[in-house]
Amino acid sequence: MMNLRSVEFLIEEALVGVRRNGLMAVASISTIALSLAILTSFCLFIFGAHQFAQHELNKFEIAVYIKPNVGRQAAIDAEAAIRRMSAVKSVILYPKEQAWPEFKKSFPQLETAGLTPNTLPDKLRVTVSDPLETTRVADSVRRMKYVDNVLDGRAERKYVLAIADFVKWFGVIASIALLAATIFIISNAIRLTVFVRRREIKIMQMVGATNGFIRIPLVLEGMIFGASGSLIAFVLVGAGITYLGSVVSRVMPMMQSVSTGVERTNILIALLIGGTLIGAAGSFVSIRRFLKI
């Protein structure tokens, strides 16, 4: 059974091994950092694209036009009925008197045509909590008694939904493929580090060291490589996010409110856990080959 002194010795051996193989350690950590930075950047891009698609979907509203000359009470009753529907987030009554000044600004040539505010219908602006429910809510509103017309942007919303689905599934498939490539690259980088020390492993076996005693320091080295690479990757990704955010705010101000929806703390935690686990697994798998010598 391993005591505290043995654990301390194994940790010291892992740190000594990292320092002793300085060039290979730098190469492995750099490879891990760049691989994780690329993977993380791609995942954040996919998250951002998905958030942007959802942001655009949430902009869609249902425009409900009340039949003309039925009175304001009909619009108020319709507003109350729509508000009671499931998936309806908000309903705003837009009276014809409020729309008239904007209508005259948009069509000044019609001002002398004898049109009055009564020419316009009362309008309801309906937003839903789930964009997928927009069509169902719009169809239900169309069947209401005093509703004259309903515009729900069905064709445009269908187009945006198709883009959102494509981004989601493309992101999932591409992220899995990129993750597999990242694990392969990192494992090979760690395998090269272990390969350089194959003679040292053979000597330790010859003097009677157990496989566990040989394996643990090397696995710890892999974990150190992974954690160090993760920290560097976090710094690279953070710098990239800051720079890209400044460029977007300057070039496309309308996209300032769109983000990936992922906190930097969560990015750091995910990188540390992922990098450490990949480093440990890469070392463990690589060592098995040389322990059979």
Helices 211-251 and 264-290 meet at what angle, rounded to 10?
150
- Is residue 11 scored above 80 in pLDDT? no
Rg (CA), the chain: 31
Q: What is the mean pLDDT of residues 30-51?
A: 84
Which of the two residues, 90 and 2, has the higher pLDDT score?
A: 90
- Selection from 23-32, 105-114, 115-124 with the highest mean pLDDT: 23-32
Which of the two residues, 255 and 273, has the higher pLDDT score?
A: 273
pLDDT of residue 1: 46
DSSP string covering 169-226: HHHHHHHHHHHHHHHHHHHHHHHHHHHHTHHHHHHHHHTT--HHHHHHHHHHHHHHHH
Lowest-confidence segment of 20-29, 149-158, 219-228, 276-285 by average pLDDT: 20-29
**Separation of alpha carbons 66 and 204, rounded Å:** 87
Q: Where are the domains of the chain?
A: 4-56+159-290, 61-152
- The listed CATH number (3.30.70.3040, 3.40.50.720, 3.30.300.130, 2.60.20.30) that belongs to domain 61-152: 3.30.70.3040
pLDDT of residue 171: 81
Give the residues across from 92 on adjacent strands: 125
**Separation of alpha carbons 273 and 11, rounded Å:** 19
- Is residue 168 scored above 70 in pLDDT? yes
Split at pLDDT 50, 70, 90, the class of 231 is very high
pLDDT of residue 241: 80
Split at pLDDT 50, 70, 90, the class of 18 is low
Mean pLDDT, the chain, rounded, equals 76
Give the tokens for residue 206.
């010859």
**Separation of alpha carbons 198 and 264, rounded Å:** 39
Q: What is the mean pLDDT of residues 117-134?
A: 78
- Is residue 12 scored above 60 in pLDDT? yes
130 DSSP assignment: S
178-215 tens-digit pLDDT: 878 877 777 777 777 767 667 777 777 777 767 667 77
Query: Residues near 228 by Cβ (< 8 Å), separated by ≥ 6?
Result: 29, 32, 33
Q: What is the mean pLDDT of residues 133-137?
A: 85
Residue 14 three-state SS: helix
pLDDT of residue 235: 92
Residue 62 three-state SS: strand
Q: What is the mean pLDDT of residues 6-30?
A: 66
Q: Are 175 and 42 in contact (CB under 8 A)?
A: yes
- Is residue 255 scored above 70 in pLDDT? no
